[in-house]
Amino acid sequence: MPPKTPQLRKTPSFRQALAFLLTSLAGLSLSACSGKKPVLVGFVAQMTGTQAELGVQERNGVQLAVEKINTEGGIAGRKIELVIRDDFGIPEKAQAADEELIKAGVVAIIGHATSGQTMAGLKITNPAKMVMISPTVSSPALSGLDDHFFRVYPTFKDSAQAFAEYVYKTGGLKRLAVIHDTDNAAYAKTYSTTFSEKYVALGGVISGEGSFSSKARPDFSPLLTRLRGGKAEGLLVIASDIDTALIAQKTRIMDWKIPLFTSAWAQTETLISNGGKAVEGLKLEQSYALSSSTPAFVEFRNSYQSRFGNAPSFGAAFGYEAAMVLAKALKKTGGSSAKLKEALQETRNFQGLMDNFSLDQYGDVQRPFYLSGIENGKFVILGKLN
Amino acid sequence: MTKDGLLPPLRHVFLSLILFRVFLPLLATGIGAVAGMSYLGLKFLQNQQQQVVQSLSRIVDHHLDHGGRILDAVARMAEASGEKNLQVFMKSTWEAYGYFDTLYQLDENDNIVLIMPPEPNYAGLDMSNLPDFKNVSNKNYSISRPFISVRTGAPTVYLVRKLAKGGSVVGELNLGVFQKEIDRISSGLGKDFVFIMDQSGTLLAHPDAAQVKQQTNLSNLGIFHSMLTGISEDFYAYGQEKVLGSATRVEKTGWLIVNQLPLSVFMVSYAWIFALIFSASLAIWITLAWNLRKRIQRHFIAPLEQLSRSANSLAMGDFSQVNTLTTIPSSFAELRKLASDFQAMSSILHARETDQQSAHDELEIRVEKRTEELFVINNNLQATTARLQQSNQELHSEIAERRRAQALLAQKVVEIELAHTELKNAQSQMLQQEKMASIGQLAAGVAHEINNPIGFINSNLGTLRNYVTELLDVVDAYAGCHSCPPQDMPALLGRIQVMKQNIDFTFLREDIRKLIDESMDGATRIKRIVQDLRDFSRIGSSEWIWTDLHAGLDSTLNVLGSEIKDKAVVVCEYGTLPQVECIPAQINQVFMNLLLNATQAITGQGRITIRSGSDADEAWISITDNGKGIPAEAIARIFDPFFTTRPVGAGIGLGLSVAHGIVKNHGGKIEVMSQEGQGSTFIIRLPIRHLHTT
């Protein structure tokens, strides 16, 4: 056979062939695992049980924010991945959830939804120097502490006093009965105390006090009957939406047409859907400027509606804001937990959904509370409570 | 040669040939096969997934329908009978049919009238604000959006059936049964990952039950959108992984049932097949490579290397190695042929080299000899060169000398030009002298010519006066006759007769006529001479006119008449001449000079012959004398100015020179033929028509 030298020269050298082989092998084995590692962010709240609504809304809000951040390029090119845990509304489970999240390697935790679980969880996260940012915790007990806790929700200290003043002066009610949920005592009990002290200071009389455990699913009739006996002119319920709705219904079933008041905790659609006609005329402390028409808020409401099939409540809005505030700080740290606390402390004039706000060095925020009422099955803002 | 370093060795060429012609095609075929298989597998999987979701969809449908039918039965009972009966019926229904968590009867204001199981806490509750309660048509049950039941923690829907009499019956239908179905499917096949979403994307059933309880919403999944928009999206992201899914929609509620499989799980089996094909191909390649490597080494590379070594030693001139070629293990014809060819080539080369060596030696000697010769030649050449250099130097000095001479010459030329100018001045003076001499000669001739007729006219006139006197006497006698008487007449006549005899009257009569004729002839001659002289000496006239040369010759001859006649006879043998354009005075001078010259050449009595004639454009006149002739050595110089053969004082020798100048000026020439002692002939040739060049 005559040698075909020119053809042989065209064939790549042996070394090239081997290199090609190895490259294709490497390519095959590596093709699956490509892309940057995501930034892990924890979310924890009560998402099951009777008081799940707030936590579910917060999670949905956070999820919406994260999806928006990720489509816009994430944190320094890395996507945020949410690690979601349920605290079941139980302090012990809240701590366990926080521990799990820390172990999972999250850079920060968004949560909890309620003060009780937050107080418990901070005992785990603060020693671990883990930043926790809560969407909806308003307990004044957490104010002014230089720790790793932040929140985008204002403390109710001032608003509760303003609410008391409203009830006493504008409402003209001199005797008030108060019910609170002991399952979230950190909030409900403190709120009750703050409100009552102011109300009494103004000259009002707390005609009766009652408490219950939501988890026990009690019959409210005896409690309400007792309070009715105290000749109360108004009833303040410091409980979750569903419990407030049930208590309201109960008063009406008892044919006790007493004016009803509730704290911002119950400011969800569930209050209305489960309250029926009983919640008509109910006055409540509202942190959610639901009639806001800023472009950011309108866009948020629309995208929430299309993403989750229902209207967002305050939990969703504050959850969204908490995630956005955290994302902005994470962008400063490049997605790292190091110096994240400092970055959050520098949050100034942040453009929220409803207003602009700043975080102070203790991770607290000053934002308005509103007085709202329920009219024809809808929340209506009646005025500011500051 | 340098390029050889870049070329791959034969072994690598073979290996890469096998790689590219065997291994990679095998691999490509394998990949193609795997791709085809995975495509078919995909279709099969989707088919299977569809079967699962369809069957689940039927279960969901059935569950809702079943609940609806039961609620319908309760409603009929409520419409037909009283509250007591209804309560019993509801209780038995609730107990028998476990999927209604709670059954309510609501009044027209949506307040709870009856509740099963009994729950005093809820009695009378207002449910009017619950979503999906308001848009319920009569007779048919409606299904609310699913929610998580506070009591059971399971996804639940309200089935609402309006009552004809007002109010409604409501059943809280527990959807937890779907979770059980999904758990069953998941545990059964192991591969299917099935979940149910409501119309908003919130989970109703999911292998991870906690997700359902937490109301996780998966409306962001690709498949949710593809089912909404109708665009098929088989592959979509689920959390961090890519999945492959199929879905169906529950007509009644718009819920979505999804069956999905992580792509990695799907791919893993095909990855195994691919790995198998890859390793099989690799094994074939390696085996082939290993086997061929040895054979190539033995059958190709070793012989070729030995051949290369032999070629190298051959190149070094070592022919001893060639014999080892026979030991090359050549297992195929071409290589053996190559070896034998090489051997043959080597022996031929060897012989050729021996020849070349001897030729080379011979050449060496020749070159040496030639070198010596060349050395000698070179020496000679060097000597010649030295000589040449010397003569060159001499030449240089000579040239310098010549240059100096040239400079002197140039100076001399200037001097000569100066002298020439002086000479020209002298010549014009001499020409004037010559002209004066000619005029003198002419005047002498003319005087002589006129003198002769005047002499005899004078004597004739004297004789005639005597004759007239005698005649007058006779006449007087005859006059007396008139007055004398007639008687005296005879006497008188006699006397008269005597008188006539005395004077010889007859002679007288004769002689008088003769004398008068002779005198008239003389006068005519003088008249002609004067005329000729005038014609000849038309001095100053320099006009070009058409002239009869014969007339010019005749007048010149007449002017010169006596000068010539004394010494020669002039014979004119004129031919025919046309008129010639010339300046006649100048031409006449030429004739005169030549005739004078001829005359002077004659010693004693001679003869001058004048001939003439013409050609087409030329007239000629020849003047021949039979005088002493011109010596041969003088002929070349006769037209030079101041050349003369005459004794000093007889002329300054400008005659011929002037004639030559005039003829030349007319565009003609003068030819001379002469023989010493026999005479000379001068021929003047003139162009008939003057060329007005000047």
Per-residue pLDDT reduced to its tens digit, B56-84: 999 999 999 999 999 999 998 888 887 88
Q: Do A17 and B213 touch (CB under 8 A)?
A: no
Separation between Cα atoms, residue B681 and residue B675, nearest integer Å: 9
Do B219 and B201 touch, CB atoms closer than 8 A? yes
Model pLDDT, residue B369: 92
Return the SS3 of B544. Answer: coil
Q: Do both B584 and B643 map to the same domain?
A: yes
Q: Do both A279 and A322 map to the same domain?
A: no
Examine residue A104 and state whether it is found in any structural domain, yes or no. yes
Identity of residue A202: L
Q: What is the pLDDT of residues B439-490, one digit of tens each?
A: 676 677 677 778 888 888 899 899 889 888 988 888 888 888 887 787 878 8
Nearest to A86 among B150, B200, B210 (CB): B210
Model pLDDT, residue A257: 93
Q: Do both A106 and A149 map to the same domain?
A: yes
| Averaged pLDDT for residues B653-658 | 74
Specify the CATH number for the domain of residue B79. Answer: 3.30.450.20
Burial of B469 (0-12, 13-18, 19+ CB in 10 A): exposed
Chosen for mutation from B23, B122, B129, B300 (greatest number of chain A CBs closer than 10 Å) is: B129
Model pLDDT, residue A161: 92
For B195, the token pair is 């979940």
Model pLDDT, residue B301: 80
Task: Answer with the residue of higher pLDDT: A151 or B675.
Answer: A151
Residue that terminates a domain, selected from B264, B285, B306: B264
Separation between Cα atoms, residue B54 and residue A342, nearest integer Å: 54
Q: Do both A304 and A356 map to the same domain?
A: yes
Do B584 and B547 touch, CB atoms closer than 8 A? yes
The dihedral sign for the CA sequence B53, B59, B62, B63: negative
Q: Is B214 left (phi over 0), alpha (psi -120 to 50) or beta?
A: alpha
For A352, the token pair is 């929220």
Nearest to A276 among B13, B19, B126 (CB): B126
Q: Do A12 and B16 touch (CB under 8 A)?
A: yes
Separation between Cα atoms, residue B49 and residue B235, nearest integer Å: 13
Q: Do both A332 and A346 map to the same domain?
A: yes
Residues in chain B with CB shorter than 8 Å from the CB of A15 are: 12
Q: Do both B519 and B553 map to the same domain?
A: no
B469 touches chain A (CB under 8 A): no
Examine residue B86 and state whether it is found in any structural domain, yes or no. yes
| Averaged pLDDT for residues A215-222 | 88
Q: Do both A175 and A275 map to the same domain?
A: yes
Examine residue A68 and state whether it is found in any structural domain, yes or no. yes
Query: Which residues span the domain enclosing A52?
Result: 39-154+291-368
Q: Give the residue from B279, B15, B285, B241 showing the smallest Cα distance to A28.
A: B279
Chosen for mutation from A40, A244, A246, A249 (greatest number of chain B CBs closer than 10 Å) is: A249
For B345, the token pair is 């080539």
| Averaged pLDDT for residues B123-134 | 80
Examine residue B642 and state whether it is found in any structural domain, yes or no. yes
B262 touches chain A (CB under 8 A): no
Q: What is the pLDDT of residues B396-420, one digit of tens each?
A: 999 999 999 999 999 999 999 999 9
Q: Do both B528 and B542 map to the same domain?
A: no
Count of the separate structural domains present in chain B: 3
Q: Do A275 and B264 touch (CB under 8 A)?
A: no
Separation between Cα atoms, residue B146 and residue B247, nearest integer Å: 19
Residue that terminates a domain, selected from B537, B553, B584: B537
Residue that terminates a domain, selected from A286, A321, A340: A286
Query: What mean pLDDT is reported for chain A?
Result: 88
Query: Which residues span the domain enclosing B529?
Result: 382-537
Separation between Cα atoms, residue B560 and residue A194, nearest integer Å: 185
B124 touches chain A (CB under 8 A): yes
Q: Do B120 and A219 touch (CB under 8 A)?
A: yes
Residues in chain B with CB shorter than 8 Å from the CB of A308 are: 200-202, 217, 219
Nearest to B219 among A52, A250, A308 (CB): A308
Separation between Cα atoms, residue B511 and residue B92, nearest integer Å: 225
Q: Do both B497 and B625 map to the same domain?
A: no
Specify the CATH number for the domain of residue A303. Answer: 3.40.50.2300
Residues in chain A with CB shorter than 8 Å from the CB of B220 are: 67, 307
Instruction: Quote the minimal CA–CA distance from B361 to chain A in Å.
Output: 42
Residue A3 has pLDDT above 60, yes or no: no
Q: Do B214 and A59 touch (CB under 8 A)?
A: yes
Residue B6 has pLDDT above 70, yes or no: no
| Averaged pLDDT for residues A187-211 | 94
Do A272 and A186 touch, CB atoms closer than 8 A? no
Model pLDDT, residue B330: 65
Do A161 and A191 touch, CB atoms closer than 8 A? no
Instruction: Quote the minimal CA–CA distance from A225 to chain B in Å.
Output: 13
B455 touches chain A (CB under 8 A): no
Q: Do both A145 and A171 map to the same domain?
A: no
User: What number is the ipTM of this complex?
Assistant: 0.83
Q: Do B213 and A63 touch (CB under 8 A)?
A: no
Examine residue A161 and state whether it is found in any structural domain, yes or no. yes
Do A344 and A133 touch, CB atoms closer than 8 A? yes
Q: Do A246 and B201 touch (CB under 8 A)?
A: no
Chosen for mutation from B12, B17, B215, B276 (greatest number of chain A CBs closer than 10 Å) is: B215
A295 cis-preceded (ω within 30 degrees of 0)? no
Q: Do both B407 and B426 map to the same domain?
A: yes
Nearest to B17 among A11, A15, A253 (CB): A11
Nearest to B125 among A21, A52, A249 (CB): A249
Q: Do both A116 and A73 map to the same domain?
A: yes
Q: Do A13 and B213 touch (CB under 8 A)?
A: no
Return the SS3 of B398. Answer: helix
Examine residue A28 and state whether it is found in any structural domain, yes or no. no
B296 touches chain A (CB under 8 A): no
Model pLDDT, residue B619: 92
Separation between Cα atoms, residue B466 and residue A105, nearest integer Å: 197
Chosen for mutation from B107, B113, B150 (greatest number of chain A CBs closer than 10 Å) is: B150
Q: Do both A226 and A282 map to the same domain?
A: yes
Q: Do both B621 and B530 map to the same domain?
A: no
Q: Do both B635 and B549 map to the same domain?
A: yes
Residue A14 has pLDDT above 60, yes or no: no
Read out DSSP for A48-102? Answer: SSTTHHHHHHHHHHHHHHHHHHHHTTTBTTBPEEEEEEE-TT-HHHHHHHHHHHH
Residues in chain A with CB shorter than 8 Å from the CB of B219 are: 307-309
Q: Do both B510 and B573 map to the same domain?
A: no
Q: Which residues are paired to B382 by β-bridges? A: none
Share of chain B above pLDDT 90, in %: 20
Residue A100 has pLDDT above 80, yes or no: yes
Read out DSSP for B486-541? Answer: GGGHHHHHHHHHHHHHHHTHHHHHHHHHHHHHHHHHHHHHHHHHHHHHHHHT-TT-
Q: Do both B519 and B606 map to the same domain?
A: no
Range among A130-134, B162-166, B293-297, B685-689 with highest mean pLDDT value: A130-134
Examine residue B639 and state whether it is found in any structural domain, yes or no. yes
Model pLDDT, residue A69: 95
Separation between Cα atoms, residue B233 and residue B248, nearest integer Å: 13
Examine residue B594 and state whether it is found in any structural domain, yes or no. yes
Residue that terminates a domain, selected from A286, A306, A334: A286
Model pLDDT, residue B644: 64
Instruction: Quote the minimal CA–CA distance from A81 to chain B in Å.
Output: 9
Model pLDDT, residue B2: 43
Count of the separate structural domains present in chain A: 2
**Look-up: residue for tokens 């007288």?**
B508
Q: Do both B466 and B416 map to the same domain?
A: yes
Residues in chain B with CB shorter than 8 Å from the CB of A247 are: none
Model pLDDT, residue B595: 87
B18 touches chain A (CB under 8 A): no
Examine residue A248 and state whether it is found in any structural domain, yes or no. yes
- Closest-CA residue of A relative to B132 is A273
For B687, the token pair is 């162009």
B62 cis-preceded (ω within 30 degrees of 0)? no
- Closest-CA residue of B relative to A1 is B334
Q: Do both A165 and A181 map to the same domain?
A: yes
Residues in chain B with CB shorter than 8 Å from the CB of A223 are: none
Q: Give the residue from A41, A82, A31, A20 showing the smallest Cα distance to A333.
A: A41
Examine residue B333 and state whether it is found in any structural domain, yes or no. no
Listed in sequence order, the residues at least 6 apart from B122 whose beta carbon sits closer than 8 Å to its beta carbon are B112, B115
Nearest to A47 among B123, B200, B215 (CB): B215
Q: Do B217 and A274 touch (CB under 8 A)?
A: no
Task: Answer with the residue of higher pLDDT: A120 or B343.
Answer: A120
Residues in chain A with CB shorter than 8 Å from the CB of B7 are: 9
Q: Do both B598 and B518 map to the same domain?
A: no
Instruction: Quote the minimal CA–CA distance from A48 to chain B in Å.
Output: 5
Size of the A and B interface in Cβ pairs below 8 Å: 110
Q: Do both A174 and A251 map to the same domain?
A: yes
Specify the CATH number for the domain of residue B552. Answer: 3.30.565.10
Count of alpha carbons within 13 angstroms of residue A238, beta-carbon side? 30
Chosen for mutation from A7, A56, A217, A220 (greatest number of chain B CBs closer than 10 Å) is: A56
Separation between Cα atoms, residue A109 and residue A323, nearest integer Å: 10
Nearest to A310 among B125, B126, B200 (CB): B200
Residue A163 has pLDDT above 90, yes or no: yes
Examine residue A305 and state whether it is found in any structural domain, yes or no. yes
| Averaged pLDDT for residues B638-656 | 63
- Closest-CA residue of A relative to B113 is A253
Residue that terminates a domain, selected from A286, A310, A325: A286
B15 touches chain A (CB under 8 A): yes
Examine residue B270 and state whether it is found in any structural domain, yes or no. no
| Averaged pLDDT for residues B125-154 | 79
- Closest-CA residue of B relative to A51 is B150
Examine residue A239 and state whether it is found in any structural domain, yes or no. yes
Angle among Cα A130, A135, A137 to the nearest 5 degrees reads: 90
| Averaged pLDDT for residues B562-585 | 85
Examine residue A2 and state whether it is found in any structural domain, yes or no. no
Separation between Cα atoms, residue A53 and residue A242, nearest integer Å: 9
Residue that terminates a domain, selected from B264, B295, B310: B264
Q: Give the residue from A354, A112, A253 showing the smallest Cα distance to B123.
A: A253
Nearest to B220 among A17, A50, A67 (CB): A67
Q: Do both B71 and B193 map to the same domain?
A: yes
Residue A4 has pLDDT above 70, yes or no: no
Examine residue B368 and state whether it is found in any structural domain, yes or no. no
Model pLDDT, residue A178: 96
Instruction: Quote the minimal CA–CA distance from B319 to chain A in Å.
Output: 28
Which band of pLDDT confidence, cut at 50, 70 and 90, is reported for residue A2?
very low
Residue B152 has pLDDT above 90, yes or no: no
Cα distances (Å, whole numbers) of residue B164 to B82, B167, B678: 14, 8, 191
For B394, the token pair is 């001499």
Which band of pLDDT confidence, cut at 50, 70 and 90, is reported for residue A10?
very low
Do B235 and B263 touch, CB atoms closer than 8 A? yes
Q: What is the pLDDT of residues B418-428, one digit of tens each?
A: 999 998 888 77
Q: Do both A149 and A57 map to the same domain?
A: yes
Model pLDDT, residue A8: 40
Residues in chain A with CB shorter than 8 Å from the CB of B19 are: 14, 17, 21
Nearest to B219 among A32, A274, A307 (CB): A307
Q: Do both A175 and A217 map to the same domain?
A: yes
Examine residue B572 and state whether it is found in any structural domain, yes or no. yes
Task: Answer with the residue of higher pLDDT: B572 or B16.
Answer: B572
How many other C-beta atoms are found inside a 10 Å radius of the C-beta of residue A339?
Answer: 12
**What letters, b where the CB count within 10 A reaches 16 and e where it falls short, cover A94-123?**
bbbbbeebbeeebbbbbbbbbbbbbbbbbe
Do A344 and A333 touch, CB atoms closer than 8 A? no
Model pLDDT, residue A20: 58
Separation between Cα atoms, residue B147 and residue B174, nearest integer Å: 10
Instruction: Quote the minimal CA–CA distance from B211 to chain A in Å.
Output: 10
